[in-house]
Structure 1
Amino acid sequence: MDKVKVAIIGSGNIGTDLMIKIMRLSDVLEMAAFVGIDPESDGLKRAERLGVPTTAEGLDGLLAMPGFKDIGIVFDATSAGAHKRHSEVLLSHGKRVIDLTPAAIGPFTIPPVNGDANLDAPNVNMVTCGGQATIPIVAAVNRVANVRYGEIVASISSKSAGPGTRANIDEFTETTSQAIVDVGGADRGKAIIVLNPAEPPLIMRDTVYCLTDDGDQEAIRQSVEDMVREVQTYVPGYRLKQAVQFEHIGSNRPLRIPEMGGEFTGLKVTVFLEVEGAAHYLPAYAGNLDIMTSAAFKTAEKIALREREKAAA
């Protein structure tokens, strides 16, 4: 059966990595257009060398391309601010949209948590790189013990953060914090991102803190390890940095966290993660790039396969 034609808007790090993944790995998707606004960008030049139709005229250039009518799915890897217009225009043309910005117009989508729930949505949001890495862990803890508060700290190499990432720092924290609640299942959520300038660049590291009601520690540990294995099916470099940590918080020394509005007693679960990228475009330290594009890639393939099933029915 014919592949589903796709376009990518955004010729930066994320868009370029996603393009290479699709061309190397997919039996379902076919690159039909790569869109940017800087004709001198490395991404556009690379796409041209690979024989992918390109335009440096942004969304308007995509609409004018002769193959636009045949495109089924459009990935937006630009910015949260630009995505609002992009989404409105693309949806008016009947395109399915996968949003890799923190705009959060469509439903939050984390493949191993709710990846099958939003396949019919016209626009799906991939949250953020930090969200893709950490929210599966919050969800894994929450399915065993109610997570009353979830906090994540995503530390990425400064070199792997392009202009789009840097322009969206505020949206990153807001969107990820909300997705910790909406998808991870926590009562409250908080997200922090750190751009690490260290040389040589460090691999993406993530720390997840969950404050839960007292629960079965062995069941929590097993749930987290099961979730890690599931994420590894599409991000092989995703791994626990060390064993899941537990600390009992007693009434003699309760935690006082402003976001919780009172004292906490119960179980503190701490999970340390490392995400090594597949190095399709940037080096392996850019795990933040890899987990975001891998999640979008997996979601697009599921959408395409679902459309095939519906067409065959």
Structure 2
Amino acid sequence: MTTKVAIIGSGNIGTDLLIKCLRGHPDLEPTALVGIDAASDGLARARRLGVATTDRGVQGLIDMSGFHEVDIVFDATSAKAHEANAAALAPHGKRLVDLTPAAIGPYVIPVVNADQHLTSQNINMVTCGGQATIPIVHAVSRVTPVPYAEIVASIASRSAGPGTRANVDEFTETTSKAIEVVGGARRGKAVIVLNPAEPPMLMRDTVFCLIDDLDDELRARITESVESMVTEVARYVPGYRMKQKVQFTRIEEDEPLRTLLPDEPRPRWKVSVFLEVEGAAHYLPAYAGNLDIMTSAALEVAERLAAHSAAPHAREVV
């Protein structure tokens, strides 16, 4: 039995979601792609693939004859648009997977906490940087306390569409908060860099975790935890990988940390993890790993939602 899904947003992310869904997710049946530009490439591709379309936004989706059969709606628009879309869909009881930084629902990283939120009506996929880096912060924090974690997500400028550019502030705020709530750091910070290099670069992510102390046993446990987490993420994002071994650096006494942790005991070690994300190039170029990891993570969550709904013990969504 398949779960019927609809996708709001006919841009890069929404179109990539559609193609991924058709190619490799037989348990999810895309029934509609929703946009607001009748001439968009995404809507044209969907029609060629036999998927129903509308250029009247969320209201056009609601008015479709098969809307009542849709169980999961992906929103690949923008943070502001998602607020309106969620309000319009709320009376209809649809489950929303939000790929914007709106953060109306709980933050979800599939390998960290997806199973805790399978009854949530609205699931937020944080950001591309969050999907790439928060698993690593969690991998460190499940071994030892992390007073502070900072991530830097560098993406090709070409892969940043209008929605991404409009949501840069929301990106940093949502990702920073999710580093704490999901990653387990006591304080989190996120930075995004739109790199204009030509040819476009692959997505690169740097994760810094400050920790209090370190010995050989803890070093080995952190390394094993991080490497294991990378393997788990790569199961649904094959282009996700570490660029080098986990780095451990002693923090010098004259290194200024007061602005980062003004009221905390001074950490003594920095754990650094350097990542690269290469896209699967289903619809987007391989350099757009930032978008690929979002669509892959969203589909991973949707599959878990569908499996949970189909299970004998599944209860009504609340």
**For the Cα contact (< 8 Å) 1:156–1:288, is it kept in 2?**
yes
Residue in 2 aligned with 1:85? 84
Which of the residues 227, 241, 244 maps onto 2:243? 241
The CA deviation at 1:311 is 7.0
The CA deviation at 1:91 is 2.3
Residue in 1 aligned with 2:75? 76
Residue in 1 aligned with 2:302? 300
Structure 1 Cα separation of the partners of residues 102 and 122 of structure 2: 11
Structure 2 Cα separation of the partners of residues 244 and 257 of structure 1: 25
Does residue 288 of structure 2 align to residue 289 of structure 1? no
2:260 aligned counterpart, secondary structure: helix
Residue in 1 aligned with 2:260? 259
2:116 aligned counterpart, secondary structure: coil
The letter of the residue matching 1:5 is K
Over residues 191-214 of structure 1, what are the superposed CA-to-partner deviations in whole Å (9 max), with x where a residue is unaligned?
000111111110000000000121
Structure 1 Cα separation of the partners of residues 49 and 152 of structure 2: 37
The letter of the residue matching 1:291 is I
Divergent runs of 4+, >4 A: none
Unpaired segments of 5 or more residues in structure 2? none
The CA deviation at 1:90 is 1.4
Unpaired segments of 5 or more residues in structure 1? none
Give the TM-score normalised by the residue count of structure 1: 0.97
Structure 2 Cα separation of the partners of residues 59 and 212 of structure 1: 46
Q: How does 1:158-237 map to 2 (within 5 A)?
A: 158-215=157-214, 216-237=218-239
Does residue 122 of structure 2 align to residue 123 of structure 1? yes
Structure 2 Cα separation of the partners of residues 140 and 204 of structure 1: 20
1:117 aligned counterpart, secondary structure: helix
Percentage of matched positions with identical amino acids? 63
1:115 aligned counterpart, secondary structure: helix
Residue in 1 aligned with 2:141? 142
**For the Cα contact (< 8 Å) 2:202–2:287, is it kept in 1?**
yes
Residue in 1 aligned with 2:131? 132
Give the TM-score normalised by the residue count of structure 2: 0.95
Structure 2 Cα separation of the partners of residues 266 and 186 of structure 1: 16
**For the Cα contact (< 8 Å) 1:249–1:255, is it kept in 2?**
no
Over residues 175-228 of structure 1, what are the superposed CA-to-partner deviations in whole Å (9 max), with x where a residue is unaligned?
000000000000000000011111111000000000012131111111100000
Distance 1:312 1:59, change over 3 A: closer
Structure 1 Cα separation of the partners of residues 250 and 38 of structure 2: 56
Structure 2 Cα separation of the partners of residues 239 and 233 of structure 1: 11
Residue in 1 aligned with 2:25? 26
The CA deviation at 1:255 is 3.5
Give the count of matched residue pairs: 311
